[in-house]
Amino acid sequence: MTQQHERGAFEFTGSWREYAPIAFTNLLLTIVTLGIYNFWARTRTRQYLWSRTRFIDDRLEWTGTGGELMLGYVMVVLVFFLPLAAIQFVMGGLVMRGTPAAAGAAFLLAMLFYLAVLGLGGVAIFRALRYRLSRTYWHGIRGGSDDQGFRYGLSYLWRTMLGGIAFGLLVPWALVTLWNKRWNAMSFGPHRFVATASSDGLMGRYLLYYLLPIALVVLGVIAGVAAAATARNPAELTQGYQVGLFFFGFYLIFFVLLGLVSLYFYAAYFRQVIAGLSLGNLEFEFTARTGDWLKLMLGTFALVVCTLGIGSVFIAYRNWAFFVRHLRAYGTLDLDQFTQSTTRAPGQGEGLFDSLDMGAF
Amino acid sequence: METRVWHYDGRSGERRMPIIALTADQRHFVLEGDGADPGPYAFTDLKPHGTSHHERAFGLKGRPGWRITFLEFPPSEIAVQLPKQGRYGRWIDRFGLWRSVGVLAVLAALVVAVTLKLPPLIARLIPQSMEQRMGRLMVGNMGAYACTTPEGEAALKALAARLRQGDGITIRVVNAQMVNAVAFPGGQVVLFDGLIQNAQSPDEVAGVLAHELGHVAHRDGMESLVRQYGLSLLLGGFDSNISGYGNALLNARYSRKTEAGADGYAIGHLQAANVSPRPTAALFARLAKQDEQSGNAGLLLNYLSSHPLSSAREQRFAASAVKGAAYTPSLTPSQWQALRKMCADGPPAPTGINF
C-alpha cells in the first residue's frame, strides 16, 4: 500500500464538547483524590486526544496507563529527590562546620549537585519522549528507542553549559543539536527518525530576543533621565505617582515585548527542527507562524482568565489540537515494510524513569 | 450475517478485514480470511482499548499492537462476550463515578483534617532537649543585641515572677526598634525594645509578655514551625536553616484559635497576678490606630500583622477587667524606669535586622 499525501496527512477530529466530560470528571476526581488521580487524568486526556488524531487512514492510539505514570513519579522521588535532599543535608552540615576545607568541600558538592540536576533533567527529557513514542500506536505499530538516554544527558549537560557560557549566544545551536540528537535516537516501527535540522537562520531572531532587553533598559534609562530633566521640579517628580506609573509601564512593555520576541524565535525554531525531521520516506513540516502561536497563547490566556481558572482544564486539548493542525507529512509509507518496532518492549521491566514526563516533543 | 472487523496483528502495519466468527464453545472466536491468523482467540484474553463506550476496539493479552475494531455494533452473541470498555479507571468504574466521588471526598476530608491536626501532635513528640537546642540556636544572633543592666534584669525577673513564669524560660530584651515580641521554641522569649518604648505603662508590657508566655506554655512556636516546614524540619537537620526558622517565627501568622489560646492564658495570668488587663487592651487599640496613620506603618505593622488584631480581642481583654478590683501596677516606677533604660547604652541592632 503506497500513498502519496500532499496535505492533510494529519487531522484532528476532536471537539471540545466531546472532551468536556472527560476534562470535568478529571478535575472532579483529581480534587477528591487530592491530586493522585492526576496520573489517570492525564492518561484519559491523552487517550482522547490520540484517538481523535487521524494519520493518513487510521487514528493514533495511546496505550500508556495512569499506573505507569504514578509508578514513574514515585520512582523519581525515590531515586532522584531523596538522594538530592541527602546531598543538601550533607552540604548544610559542612557549611556549619565553618572550616575552609569544609566550605570548599561544600562548594564542590554544590557544583556536583547542580551538574547532576542538569544532567538528569536531560535524561528526563529524553525518556519522556521515548515513553511517549513507545506508548503511541498506529496501525498496531509503536515507536521507541533502545537508547537509555544517559549519553544524551551528558550531551545535554555540556551543550547547555556551553550555550550559556558564550554569553548565551550558542543557545540556538544547543537547542537544535539537542533536538537532533534525541530524535535521531528514536524510531517508529522499523524506521529510525532522522533529524538534520541546522541552526542557520535562527540567529537573527535569537539576537533580537537577546538584545531587546538590553535595548529596552537603555531606552528606559534615557527616557527616565529625559523625564527628570524636563520636569520643572525634580523633587516633585520623585514623590509623585508618575514614577510608579513609569516603572509599571516599563515593566509591562518589557515583558510583553520580550514574550512576543521569544514567540517569534520559538515559532521559527519549531518550524526549522520539524522540517529537518524524517521517518523512512516521510518528511514533516510544521506550519505555525508567530501569529498562530500568539493566537494560541492569547486564546488560552483569555480562556483561563474569563473562566476564573477553570478553563485551564482545556489547555492540554488546545495545545495538542494546535500541534496536530499545523503538522504536515509528505512522502510515502510502505505498509508491507512497516513492521513492529524492535525496540525494547514497553511495560514491565522497562526503566521506570520512562514515566518521568517533563516536556512534550 | 457475517461481521467484519478491522484487524492489525501487531507484527506489520497492514490492515486486514477478516470475518469474526464464534467457535462452537461460544467462548472463543476465529478471524477468517484476508490473510489474518485465524486463531482461535479467547474472549477473556481481549482487553478494551476504546476511549468511550461508542468505540469497540480491543487488544489481545500478551500481543502488543494486536487489535480488532468493530466498525458497527457487533451481533449480540458476540457483544455479550466482549469485555466492557474502561472509562475512569478500574476501581472507579466498578463502584460508579458518583459513588466513588462521594467516598473519595470523605476520605480526602479525613486526610486534610488529620494533616491539619498533625503539626501539634508532631510538635509534642519533639523531645524537650531538641526544642531547647533549637531555641538557643534561633536566638543565637539576637543574643548579641540583648540588653543587660542589673536593675533592668531585676525588673524583668520581678515581672516574670508575678506572671508565674514556668521553669526553663529565658526572657531577653533585644535592642531593636520593632514593636514586637516573639516566643521561640524551648522557652526563649524575646521582647524588642521598640515594644517597651512604645508602651505607656508596665502593665502593657506585662500583657504582651503574658501572651508570649502563653505561646511557650502551649508550645505554639514549635507547632508553627512544623506547620510551615513539615517533616523537613526533622529530617533536614535544623542547623542548616536556623535563620530561616527564626525569621519564620518572627513573622509567624498564628491561627485565630492559637492567638485566642495565648490571650486566654495571658488574661488568666494577669488576673492571678492582680494586674489590670485594661492597659493591654489600650495598647492594642493604640497600635491599631497608629497603624492607620501612614508613616508609622513600617514600625508598627510588624506586631499587628503577626498578631491579627480584631476589636473582639481588644474587647476580650477589656471585658476581663473586674470592676472595683484593687489592681496593682505590675512594676514599681523605679523598676519600670530600669526596664525602659535597659537598652539605653547597648549597641542598637541594625535596622531591617535578619536573624
Does residue B350 lie in a domain region? no
> Is residue B102 within a helix (H) or strand (E), and if so which, with residue range?
helix B97-125
| Cβ within 8 Å, pair A29-B235 | no
Q: Which residues of chain B make contact with A13, given a CB cutoff of 8 A?
A: none
Q: What per-residue confidence (pLDDT) applies to B35?
A: 83
Sheet holding A277-279: strands in order across?
Answer: A61-62, A136-138, A141-144, A187-188, A191-195, A277-279, A282-286, A327-331
- Which parts of chain B have pLDDT scores under 70? 1, 51-55, 141, 230-254, 288, 290-311, 346-355
**B13, B59, B105: residue with CB nearest A141:** B13
Task: Give the predicted TM-score (pTM) of the model.
Answer: 0.72
Same domain, B163 and B301: yes
Does residue B353 lie in a domain region? no
Residue of B nearest to A92 (CA): B240
**A37, A92, A336: residue with CB nearest B14:** A336
In this structure, are residues A141 and A150 in contact, taking their beta carbons and an 8 Å threshold? no
Q: What per-residue confidence (pLDDT) applies to B52?
A: 57
Of B86, B115, B136, the residue that ends a domain is: B86
Of B36, B63, B86, the residue that ends a domain is: B86
Of B56, B86, B116, the residue that ends a domain is: B86
Phi first, then psi, for residue B41 (nearest 5°) are -120, 145
Share of chain A above pLDDT 90, in %: 25
In this structure, are residues B259 and B307 in contact, taking their beta carbons and an 8 Å threshold? yes
What's the grid cell of residue B158? Answer: 520581678
Same domain, B232 and B263: yes
Domains of chain A by residue range: 10-355
Interface size, chain A vs chain B, as Cβ–Cβ contacts under 8 Å: 100
Lowest mean pLDDT among A1-10, A78-87, A265-274, B312-321: A1-10
Same domain, B203 and B154: yes
**B14, B97, B237: residue with CB nearest A89:** B237
Quote the minimal CA–CA distance from B185 to chain A in Å.
Answer: 21
Does residue B243 lie in a domain region? yes
| Cβ within 8 Å, pair B10-A25 | no
* Closest CA relative to residue A128, chosen from A193, A47, A182: A182
Q: Which residues of chain A make contact with B50, given a CB cutoff of 8 A?
A: 51
**Average pLDDT of span A293-320:** 90
What's the Cα-to-Cα distance from A234 to each of A223, A225, A228, rounded to whole Å?
14, 11, 6
Residue of B nearest to A333 (CA): B13
With a cut of 90, say whether residue A193 has pLDDT above it: yes
With a cut of 50, say whether residue A129 has pLDDT above it: yes
With a cut of 50, say whether residue A361 has pLDDT above it: no
Which domain, by its residues, includes B98? 90-125
CATH for B16 = 2.30.29
Q: What per-residue confidence (pLDDT) applies to A318?
A: 92
| Cβ within 8 Å, pair B108-A63 | no
Same domain, B181 and B147: yes
With a cut of 70, say whether residue A198 has pLDDT above it: yes
Same domain, B133 and B244: yes
With a cut of 50, say whether residue A304 has pLDDT above it: yes
Same domain, B115 and B45: no
* Chain B CB within 8 Å of residue A61 CB: yes
* Chain B CB within 8 Å of residue A142 CB: yes
Does residue B354 lie in a domain region? no
Output the CA torsion B240→B245→B247→B249 (10° steps): -170
**Average pLDDT of span A99-109:** 79
Q: What per-residue confidence (pLDDT) applies to A231?
A: 63
Q: CB neighbours of B87 closer than 8 A, spacing ≥ 6?
A: B52, B53, B93, B97
Q: CB neighbours of B296 closer than 8 A, spacing ≥ 6?
A: B290
User: Per the structure, how many domains does chain B have?
Assistant: 3
Does residue B284 lie in a domain region? yes
Q: Which residues of chain B make contact with A279, given a CB cutoff of 8 A?
A: none
Does residue B347 lie in a domain region? no
User: B-side interface with A, Cβ within 8 Å?
Assistant: 8-15, 49-51, 55, 57, 59, 64-67, 88-89, 92, 97, 100-101, 104-105, 107-108, 111-112, 235-237, 239-241
DSSP structural state of residue B13: S
| Cβ within 8 Å, pair B51-A51 | yes
Q: What per-residue confidence (pLDDT) applies to A354?
A: 45
Q: What per-residue confidence (pLDDT) applies to A6?
A: 47
Residue of A nearest to B14 (CA): A335
pLDDT digits (tens, 9 = 90+) for A80-92: 777 777 777 777 6
Q: What per-residue confidence (pLDDT) applies to A180?
A: 94
pLDDT digits (tens, 9 = 90+) for A223-262: 778 777 776 555 555 555 667 777 788 788 888 888 888 8
From CA B161, how far away is CA B165, in angstroms rounded? 6
Mean pLDDT of chain A: 82
Same domain, B191 and B243: yes
**A1, A91, A140: residue with CB nearest B65:** A140
| Cβ within 8 Å, pair B108-A25 | no
Same domain, B15 and B82: yes
Same domain, B266 and B172: yes
Same domain, B107 and B154: no
Same domain, B335 and B268: yes
Q: What per-residue confidence (pLDDT) applies to B347?
A: 67
Q: What per-residue confidence (pLDDT) applies to A185?
A: 92
Q: What per-residue confidence (pLDDT) applies to A238?
A: 54
Quote the minimal CA–CA distance from B239 to chain A in Å.
Answer: 7
